[in-house]
Amino acid sequence: MNLAGDGNMVYLLFGTLVGIVLGINIAVLYHRFIGNKARTETKLRAEIRELEKRLRQKDEYIAKAIKSVKDERRGS
């Protein structure tokens, strides 16, 4: 018993399955290539913030050392 719309339903089912498989593949590829860049960028930004903080601390230490040397010279 073949109904008029059975062939169209098979094509619809096949197209839906192909679409789902392709969508999953695209999502996996996107996550693998684009997602890693976002994580790497976040990690690098955190590292940059840490280096900037250490640089400011180094500048503060140098300023304190210069002030200490000047104070010693005035005191002697």
Tokens matching residue 1: 């018993």
pLDDT tens by residue, 31-58: 888 877 778 888 999 999 999 999 999 9
Q: How many CB atoms lie within 10 A of CB 35?
A: 13
Q: How far is CA 3 from CA 10, 11, 12, 16, 24, in A?
A: 12, 14, 15, 21, 33
| pLDDT value for 31 | 85
Instruction: For residues 8-27, give the mean pLDDT.
Output: 94
How far is the C-alpha of 50 from the C-alpha of 68, rounded, in Å? 27
| pLDDT value for 4 | 60
Q: Say how many Å lie between the first and final Cα of the chain, rounded.
A: 112
| pLDDT value for 75 | 76
| pLDDT value for 73 | 87
Residue 1 has pLDDT above 60, yes or no: no
| pLDDT value for 2 | 62
